[in-house]
Structure 1
């Protein structure tokens, strides 16, 4: 399936921007700037179901749906 570093390199190559890899890295963006892409990896079926149904009982789901 490939290595994570290969995926990150491809994202950076396509977007011409370095990926933000942590929640604290997104804080300077604030609510004013919208992101173009959010990747949750690894994403279990449980997490995917929560995102699809708007359930925000974990920090990952809550930060993803803001």
Structure 2
């Protein structure tokens, strides 16, 4: 019995999974617009208070830091 029939390779599965939006569980998303914007090929979150556009590719730590320290409009 072969397991390769009808199954995708790990690489193609990873590629497909990266295109699926993840559920937004962090409370920091309350401070950002619901929809991400596409800027120069990158998806970015937009701050509701000052309009800053921040990368979300590596998680929400940058978003959290912006709200806590950098956003002067809060």
Q: TM-score, normalised by structure 1?
A: 0.24
Higher helix share: 1
Structure number with the bigger relative contact order (C-alpha 8 A, sep ≥ 6) is 2
Higher strand share: 2
Q: TM-score, normalised by structure 2?
A: 0.23
Work out which of the two has the higher radius of gyration on C-alpha atoms and give 1 or 2: 2
